[in-house]
Amino acid sequence: MRVIDLIKSTDKTAFSFEILPPIKGTGIDKVYADIDMLREFDPKYINITTHRSEYVYRELGDGLFRRDRLRRRPGTVAVAAAIRNRYDITVVPHMLCSGFTREDTEYMLLDLQFLGITDLLVLRGDKAKHEPSFTPEPGGNSHAIELEEQINDFNRGVFVDGSPIKAPLQPFSYGVACYPEKHEESPNPEQDLHWLLRKVETGAEYAVTQLFYDNRRYFDFVERARKAGIDVPIIPGIKPFTKLSQISMIPKTFKVDLPEELACEAIKCRNDQEARILGTEWCIYQCRELMEHGVPSIHFYTVGAVESVRDIAKEIY
């Protein structure tokens, strides 16, 4: 079943979460252990993130360095297939423009076709760490919309070079990202909504939000999106903070505000344990309110926070 059907087929607020592929050189057991911790809450689907390559400098001695290309977290497609095989659950690998040529994307789509994995989250991806701003690969896609168009062409049976795909296809379906507090590069919220509308018109069946801590921002965003003609489910993305350092790091990294009530409580936290308790309690409060407003689904960002997500899920599901 497609993600959109899974969300619509349940009366309750659906539960889903995102996991990261293991760091290169480590095994998949930790991924399984995390999933095992959350399985009892009946996740409808699991997202698997994708990470572009970065350049790293390796010291060779005598003041010399070598510049190497490194993908710290490879294996999105394989991890998605492994999870699907082990748990018989819908998996949603993330597809990026960032770091991928159209040809790379095509090969990833072909691999996914062979595996029968056809739910995707379509994203531009973050900029490379060494770049001041996002730069597509030569011959790569510049925006999520272009990647959607490539996937649409693939669904119509056309490769990037215009040649036909001869085998029968199971079409891909996909969602996209959205930002209740605006994407950091967007000049204003209206422009950002304009492009979200275009992403939906291009074929996105739902949108998943960037994490947020202030439900007012989400409710306001959904209202503005509906007025702009965006009629697909807008799935709230929730991430409990688990460490004292995250209280200042999360707003900086994700360009989101903490509401005053939360900020006042956060200031009182003296250690990670207190921060974790506050982060969990706040997300329980957030989720309960979101559920009262009838959100179709809640999507959890679990990196470094699986225990907290389990504690939240225990309270709300």
Among 13, 31, 34, 49, the residue binding ligand FAD under the rule CB under 6 A is: 49
What is the rounded distance in angstroms from the CA atom of residue 43 to the CA atom of residue 37? 11
Nearer to ligand FAD, 206 or 282 (CB): 206
* Near ligand FAD by CB under 6 A: residue from 6, 145, 244, 269: 145
Q: Is 92:121 a contact under the CB 8 Å cutoff? A: yes
The Cβ of residue 303 has, within 10 Å, a number of other Cβ atoms equal to 13
9 vs 191, which CB is nearer to ligand FAD?
Answer: 191
Within 206-235, the residues that bind ligand FAD by CB under 6 A are 208, 210
Contact 121, 47 (CB under 8 A): yes
User: What is the Cα–Cα distance from 233 to 229, expressed in whole angstroms?
Assistant: 12
* 9 contacts 17 by C-beta, under 8 angstroms: no
100-139 footprint of ligand FAD as x/- string (CB under 6 A): ---------------------x-xxxx-------------
Q: What are phi and psi of 69, to 5 degrees?
A: -90, 130
Strand partners, 94: 121
Task: Select the span of 3-11, 109-117, 184-192, 306-314 touching ligand FAD (CB under 6 A).
Answer: 184-192
Contact mark string toward ligand FAD, 6..45, x via CB under 6 A: ----------------------------------------
Residues 97/140, Cβ–Cβ less than 8 Å: yes
Q: In the set 50, 105, 246, 297, which binds ligand FAD (CB under 6 A)?
A: 50
Say if residues 203 and 177 touch (Cβ distance below 8 Å): no
Report the nearest approach of ligand FAD to the CB of residue 188 (Å): 10
d(Cα 125, Cα 95) in Å, to the nearest integer? 8
Which residues contribute to the site for ligand FAD (CB under 6 A)?
Answer: 49-50, 94, 96, 98, 121, 123-126, 143-145, 177, 183, 185-186, 191-192, 195, 199, 208, 210, 237
